[in-house]
Structure 1
Amino acid sequence: MKLLRLGHYYSHHCFLPRRRLTSTVTSIPKICIVGSGPASFYTAQHLIKTVPRVEVDIYEQLPVPFGLVRFGVAPDHPEVKNVINTFTKTAKSPQLRFVGNVTLGRDLSLKELRNAYHAVVLAYGADKDRELGLKGEQLGNVVSARRFVGWYNGLPCDTDFPVNLDVEEAAVLGHGNVALDVARLLLTPIDKLKSTDITEHALEALSRSRVRHVKVIGRRGPLQVAFTIKELREMLNLPDCITVCNPFDFETVRSAVPNLERPRRRLTELLCKAADLSPSGNVDSNSRQFHLVFFRSPLSFQPSPDVPDTVGSMQLEVNQLDEQQHAVPTGSTETVQCGLVLRSIGYRSTQADPDVPFDIDRGHIPNISGVVQPGLYVAGWLATGPIGVILSTMTQAFGVGRAVEADVSSGRVDVSQARPGHTAIGKLLNDRGVTTVSWKDWERIDAVEQSRGKNVGKPREKIVDINEMLAVSVGTGGT
């Protein structure tokens, strides 16, 4: 069915008042979700509340749940991670099963899931990087901010992330929340991080870091930044750190402030205040410095004269905004010194299985309000692209839950005939020699992590090796 026809149907039916399932349903609705981040748990939460007798199985690539809440939220933001308590309550419902260490496209196929379940929700997120495609990008220490975040948050594939912090000048490309997160972690006094759940290997590396100056560079101006006021305020309040801005970047900003929507107005007012307080003369080079740089785009990366296979500087193009607020080059360039460059220009999703209807150009699964076709749905960043925060993901995921509920209720997804669900998939995985992780297995991992953390004054010490996770999950490894 074409998306246009789906759009017509769902615009009229998806958001009607909630109805209970009709009496024609004779089997238990079995629904699986691929991925265990916020989009997955919020979708599951809605389905369990609204679809009678539903059984929801969550399949996760890693042995541990929670996706970006575990591996993307900064260690010094524990309040954001409190949502894990809600997800845990959902996971303990007798109607939900967690199956970890299972990869779509490797251990099982989308076709096998669709044959086993009445409906499949894809919610495996965006775990790859966008690259710039610029000369010198392959140099050492031109790295992904996403992988840097994974490194300090304990993502197993990023444990050996090759980053060298034995430099004084760092640059972060991008003006989003992730850019400010990595800048903040680089400039935060190490004692402030010791009581967080940052990984021990990252804590040790950051304790030896020589990074003193971090430039956060964006191609447009103060009115177009994508970060939020909370993250900016934290940067401005960092102890023993000086914020540096170019006052000329704010010449036309102040006159626009009164006409801005309240959230943007408050953010811009704080930016203007930071610019007003920015030192006008020379700054002590030994001080920690956070530079907010506007109207600049990277052109190329040059090697260090001392270490030719590592970045030493970056050429920037100076931009101005056209009438549509697009960044256009002025023809002027400048060079900045930087021994570390972190790209923070966005995440992208991938096609996990050949049967996943993926739009490579846009980097997501085409959908109408989360509906790909009756019986197949998509939630979170895989549906929308990598935009928004946990709250916006919750809203989108609840919408997907309503769409599934509407299809089951109306009969567009036929649940009158029984499907085997995990009975079939579990046997298939067992036959293929896949070691799976249940929720109780995860609780063993969780207990060991918390115990190790308690010993060093942290909320937890994350296990960063998958084999160790699996050993702990069955009670044969770690204390």
Structure 2
Amino acid sequence: MAMCRMIFLRRFSSISSNPLRVCVVGSGPAGFYTAEKMLKRHEAAQVDIIDRLPMPFGLVRSGVAPDHPETKIVVNQFSRVCHHERCSFFGNVMLGSSLSLPELRSLYHAVVLAYGAESDRSLGIPGEDLSGIHSAREFVWWYNGHPDCRNLELYLKNTQKVVILGQGNVALDVARILLRPTVELATTDIANHALATLQESSIRKVYLVGRRGPAQAACTAKELREVLGIKDLYVGISESDLLKTPADEEELKNDRIRRRVYELLSKAATSNQSSPRSDQHELHFVFFHKPDRFLDDGHGHVTAVRLEKTALRGNGSGKQIAIGTGEFQDIECEMVLKSIGYKSVPVDGLPFDHQAGVVPNVRGRVLCDTSGESAIEEGLYVCGWLKRGPTGIIATNLYCAEETVVSISEDIDRGVLVPSLPKPGRDGLLQLLDDRNVRVVPFSNWEKIDSEERRLGSLRNKPREKLATWDELLRASDTNQLC
């Protein structure tokens, strides 16, 4: 490790004697876009990206569906960032465990937190802790080979009906993976353990439940078109749900994406056969219902979801909210997936708005508390879902990062950040981690993991076979050769 620090120092000594030292926590799109824009905007900046996982790319790797390879092409751009002479990636470094936030801030002029949202919102209704109920995030991480969810217990062999709570893009991704023929998934980078389980699946019916109606569906037309296009799939949509009110018309008038979604749902409702065949997979859109409680079999496993019928009421902002009507119905199922939103988690020493699930900030500058009028935490910034909440697509983080980097630049111009004051930066980080025996995985060692996954994938006609346990990842990274 000491030799590594010497190499890093020689590598950057010719660039600037007092560089701006920046650490980005989190290597998803928000983190990489922040690093890229910092490197372009500040010619003397040295940027280090740390991540708790041994591999980079965040939700591009663990969130994007395996049958969406075109969305993952952005990793080529992110890899070029890591190969930049003034940038380094260090995986297997966990903020709050490997080192504290105050320690990290003492090492760098600026710290940008971009570690996203790695937990889930709760419904807060009876039965939510029954077995057979999982978050959509856990399921997505499971089929994408995230090491935290490798051992998620899913008994699809004994499951015929699944209820998915939510109708956004993640919910549609989950439904598509459950219903799409596995022969088509077999040539993607889906994790092998997930493919094997899906091949044994007995699932026949999937219900997508939404509080509001088809005019308010939160998905995009692209995602909806994909799930509706699954081969030999029966799609159940009640034509009565498609009746529009004047308020619906007003909402659709101002939203081109939702107009297209509504058109696709209307077409699917009228073009499908009247009833499914006995051998056919079924996808049912259940509008105007919200979960009230989960029912169990007496042994702690979910057997049904009790739904309350809703009606829409205006809230004065031009949008309609769902209000319970007191009418209930049960949908029997053996598994429930909650796609109701991701949630960020705080670390010690970080101001956090627990209700909104974000770090209080003004254009990326972290505030000392949640009042909105407090002082700024000098040198501490946020980007991505931690900054704005779990919304948007990958490209949304591009503009989010631009705003945060502009704030950093303004703080330098105002003298809030002073690059001429020396900070230990990368060398101090490596020394601290070395003292604590943290097995750091630099980008060159991630490339060893990448190479091994591609090799294993080629044996199965797949783009890669993801290593899905911590031991496999660390073993393939060969972290003994850090430099």
TM-score where L is the length of structure 2: 0.90
Mapped pair 1:407 → 2:440: no
1:31/1:55 contact within 8 Å kept: yes
Q: Distance in 2 between matches of 1:260 and 1:371?
A: 32
Q: Which residue, 106, 119, 136 being the options, matches 1:128?
A: 119
Mapped pair 1:271 → 2:265: yes
1:437/1:473 contact within 8 Å kept: yes
Mapped pair 1:140 → 2:164: no
1:45-56 → structure 2 map (5 Å cutoff): 45-56=36-47
Give the drift of 1:283.
2.4
1:166-217 deviations in Å (ceiling 9; x for gaps)? 2111110011111000000000001010000000000000000001110000
Give the drift of 1:398.
1.8
1:29-48 → structure 2 map (5 Å cutoff): 29-48=20-39
1:355-393 deviations in Å (ceiling 9; x for gaps)? 111111211100111111331100000001111111112
Q: Which residue, 190, 203, 226 being the options, matches 2:218?
A: 226
- Corresponding residue number in structure 2 for 1:394: 398
Q: Which residue, 351, 365, 368 being the options, matches 2:362?
A: 368
Q: Which residue, 199, 204, 213 being the options, matches 1:212?
A: 204
1:169/1:340 contact within 8 Å kept: yes
Identical-residue share of aligned pairs (%): 43
- Corresponding residue number in structure 1 for 2:50: 59
2:441/2:479 contact within 8 Å kept: no
Mapped pair 1:201 → 2:193: yes
Give the drift of 1:277.
2.2
Mapped pair 1:377 → 2:372: no
2:208/2:283 contact within 8 Å kept: yes
Q: Distance in 2 between matches of 1:249 and 1:50?
A: 51
Give the drift of 1:405.
2.1
Give the drift of 1:262.
2.2
* SS of structure 2 residue aligned to 1:197: coil
Q: Distance in 2 between matches of 1:299 and 1:434?
A: 45
- Corresponding residue number in structure 2 for 1:432: 436
2:382/2:404 contact within 8 Å kept: yes
2:217/2:258 contact within 8 Å kept: no
Q: Which residue, 357, 371, 383 being the options, matches 2:351?
A: 357
Mapped pair 1:296 → 2:300: no
Question: Which amino acid counterpart does residue 233 of structure 2 have in structure 1?
Answer: C
- Corresponding residue number in structure 2 for 1:110: 101
Question: Which amino acid counterpart does residue 41 of structure 2 have in structure 1?
Answer: T
- Corresponding residue number in structure 2 for 1:14: none
Give the drift of 1:301.
1.3
Q: Which residue, 162, 168, 174 being the options, matches 2:153?
A: 162
* SS of structure 2 residue aligned to 1:331: strand
CA RMSD, Structure 1 to Structure 2 (Å)? 1.7
Q: Distance in 2 between matches of 1:258 and 1:356?
A: 40
Structure 1 pair 435–195 and aligned structure 2 pair: CA distance change class (3 A): same
1:245/1:278 contact within 8 Å kept: no
Question: Which amino acid counterpart does residue 49 of structure 1 have in structure 2?
Answer: K
1:452/1:461 contact within 8 Å kept: yes
Mapped pair 1:262 → 2:256: yes
Q: Distance in 2 between matches of 1:157 and 1:304?
A: 28
Q: Distance in 2 between matches of 1:85 and 1:292?
A: 37
Give the drift of 1:475.
7.2
Question: Which amino acid counterpart does residue 55 of structure 1 have in structure 2?
Answer: Q
1:257/1:268 contact within 8 Å kept: no
1:306-353 deviations in Å (ceiling 9; x for gaps)? xx332111111000001221111111111111111100000101112x
* SS of structure 1 residue aligned to 2:207: strand
Q: Distance in 1 between matches of 2:252 and 2:142?
A: 41
Mapped pair 1:322 → 2:317: no
Instruction: Report which stretch shifted further, 231-240 or 220-229.
Output: 220-229
Question: Which amino acid counterpart does residue 69 of structure 2 have in structure 1?
Answer: P
Q: Which runs of 4+ in 1 moved over 6 A?
A: none
- Corresponding residue number in structure 1 for 2:5: none
* SS of structure 1 residue aligned to 2:336: strand
1:211-248 deviations in Å (ceiling 9; x for gaps)? 11100001111121111111000011110111110111
Gaps of 5+ in 1: 1-24
Give the drift of 1:406.
2.2
* SS of structure 1 residue aligned to 2:362: coil
1:249-297 deviations in Å (ceiling 9; x for gaps)? 1111685587233222222211221222244x43224311111110001
Q: Distance in 2 between matches of 1:147 and 1:319?
A: 28
- Corresponding residue number in structure 1 for 2:3: none
* SS of structure 2 residue aligned to 1:32: strand
1:306-317 → structure 2 map (5 Å cutoff): 308-317=299-308
Q: Which residue, 449, 453, 462 being the options, matches 1:449?
A: 453
Give the drift of 1:399.
1.4
Question: Which amino acid counterpart does residue 269 of structure 1 have in structure 2?
Answer: E
- Corresponding residue number in structure 2 for 1:342: 337
Q: Distance in 1 between matches of 2:288 and 2:252?
A: 22
Q: Distance in 2 between matches of 1:163 and 1:139?
A: 13
Q: Distance in 2 between matches of 1:336 and 1:28?
A: 61
Q: Which residue, 108, 130, 151 being the options, matches 2:142?
A: 151
1:40-77 deviations in Å (ceiling 9; x for gaps)? 00000000011021100011101100000000000000
1:179/1:344 contact within 8 Å kept: yes
* SS of structure 1 residue aligned to 2:404: helix
TM-score where L is the length of structure 1: 0.91
Q: Which residue, 243, 249, 257 being the options, matches 1:251?
A: 243
Give the drift of 1:304.
3.5
Q: Distance in 2 between matches of 1:286 and 1:398?
A: 51
Give the drift of 1:397.
1.3
